[in-house]
Structure 1
Amino acid sequence: MVVHVQQVLRDHGVSGEVRHLAESARTAQQAADALGVEVGAIANSLVFEVLGNPVLVLTSGTHRVDTAKVAALLGVPELTEAGAAFVREHTGQAIGGVAPVGHPEPIGTLVDITLARHDQVWAAAGHPHTVFPTTYDELLRITAGTAAEVDAD
């Protein structure tokens, strides 16, 4: 899966290289510690289920997604965190390593505006031991995502 994500990143003109980490980075804090960066510069990839369809929310590692706020943004009654089987089915990747790209089918994506505060952000690259550097604007571009305020007030 990582090789596929790497190719998709190249196809989108992403210059940052996938980095393999010695330790698993299933959480934003683990990734930040491994990379020596602020936890806020980690783009958590969280998959939610909305009316049977996936929605990907890329949020700053310092935030928790406010599901009621995001549901209202999307104009749907509710947003539920997807289980492992749903995530793998729709992304081809395991929870803790979901990349913003490289899924079997395009997934609607929201990108936390707080990530724009960082010159460089890090996102998963298809496996809990892989990440890649990018920027907020690049995340919006490669995911065809929508900038959104997704965190709890």
Structure 2
Amino acid sequence: MAIEQVRGYLKPWGRDKDIIEMEASTATVLEAANALGVIPARIAKSISLKQGDAATVIVVAGDVKLDNRKYKDHFGIKARMLSPEEALQFTGHAVGGVCPFGLPAGVGVYLDVSMKRFTTVFPACGSCNSAIELTMDELNEYSQNKEWVDVCKPINEESANE
């Protein structure tokens, strides 16, 4: 079970017992926000993408979405989301529980600057009913973040061409 993998992963930092497991689903941003009693923006959602023969996880604030132009400008390739089957294969976590912890070697983790406006955020912990509250410094360290990136835009932002 992926949550046990994440629990073991967080143990060296003494945070394995801080994982919050809920009866309610936390598989979507709104479900997680409701279950935790926080605004949706503070949910740190993990977007899993294909990069060549590998996968990348980009963790973003709950009120933003990937900006394809910014992503392509930064990474030099078109963004391609992993299918649910690929997400499980590449990350070891099922959709709804994908997180930046306990990932197989070769899966790069990037954190989006959209989260920096918060003192703490709540990423998933490997299951569709778990989360942990972390500061930006903790998330940066525990996720083994490769780089802070700016590859998102607000969900409700109108395109410049409209």
Q: Fold conserved (TM > 0.5)?
A: yes
Q: How does 1:43-62 map to 2 (within 5 A)?
A: 43-62=44-63
Q: How does 1:1-153 map to 2 (within 5 A)?
A: 1-14=2-15, 17-74=18-75, 76-145=76-145, 146-152=147-153
- Segments of 5+ residues of structure 1 without an aligned counterpart are none
Residue type matched to 1:22 in 2? E
Contact conserved, 2:43 with 2:61, CA < 8 A, in 1? Answer: yes
Stretch of structure 1 that moved more, 31-40 or 9-18: 9-18
Number of equivalenced pairs = 152
Percent identity (aligned): 24
Contact conserved, 1:91 with 1:104, CA < 8 A, in 2? Answer: yes
Contact conserved, 2:114 with 2:152, CA < 8 A, in 1? Answer: no
> In structure 2, how many angstroms separate the alpha carbons of the residues matched to 1:90 and 1:13?
26
- Segments of 5+ residues of structure 2 without an aligned counterpart are 155-162
Q: Provide Cα deviations, 1:13-42, integer angstroms capped at 9, x if missing partner.
A: 547711111111111111011111111111
Contact conserved, 2:3 with 2:127, CA < 8 A, in 1? Answer: yes
Determine which structure has more spread, i.e. the larger CA radius of gyration.
2
Moved over 3 A (4+): 12-16
